[in-house]
Amino acid sequence: MTGRVVLGVSGASGAALALSAARHLAGAGIGIDLVISGAAERTLATECGAAALGDLTALADVVHDINDIGASIASGSYPVAGMIMAPCSMRSLAAIATGLDDNLMIRAASVQLKERRKLILLTREAPLTLAHLRNMVAVTEMGAIVLPPVPAFYLKPESLDQVVDQIAARAVDLLRIAPPVANGWTG
């Protein structure tokens, strides 16, 4: 195993991004500490089917209750390489931007920032309000990487699954803890 990563899943649309990110992480031998919001559980079922939550949790090494603010990932002494939040709702973004550590997922994100670890946020909303944009600036200034799930059209994807897998692979690659898995531009 090349390390551990926290995978946070909020309730924004784009639940397939979480499944794909988990598959890429597990495939690279990276341990997964998973934390999922209640809204994310509903979105997973709605967008990916009844089995999606089970599929996602099966890929994780540890599944944390979002209300367990005393879990290992709430501490900077817990050794992880970083965190991906896929997808990241605007509510979660706002909580991170303002330091509102009101649940384990947001606390884990704050820990990444305070420990100067990678925090990759696959923010999911369109169009964006000024509040959304300001929150994106705030978390970027704190050290997070905002990665909206925008398709790489130049790769000429043939399916939505290819689009999702490319975006999730890019998020995993941004952690820089395993060999790259995303398809790159070849010129």
Asked, for residue 180, whether it belongs to a domain, the answer is: no
Asked, for residue 15, whether it belongs to a domain, the answer is: yes
Asked, for residue 79, whether it belongs to a domain, the answer is: yes
Percent of residues, the chain, with pLDDT higher than 90: 97
Number of other CB atoms surrounding residue 167 within 10 Å:
24
pLDDT in tens, 67-76: 999 999 999 9
pTM: 0.97
What value does the mean pLDDT of the chain take?
97
Q: Which domain holds residue 23?
A: 3-175
pLDDT in tens, 98-110: 999 999 999 999 9
* Mean pLDDT along residues 11-37: 97
Asked, for residue 185, whether it belongs to a domain, the answer is: no
What total number of domains does the chain contain? 1
Q: What CATH number does the domain containing 162 carry?
A: 3.40.50.1950
Asked, for residue 135, whether it belongs to a domain, the answer is: yes
Asked, for residue 183, whether it belongs to a domain, the answer is: no
Residue-wise burial string across 44-71, b where 16 or more C-beta atoms lie within 10 A, e elsewhere = beeebeeebbeebeebbeebbebeeeeb
Residue predicted with more confidence, 186 or 37: 37
Sequential DSSP letters for 94-113: HHHHHT---SHHHHHHHHHH
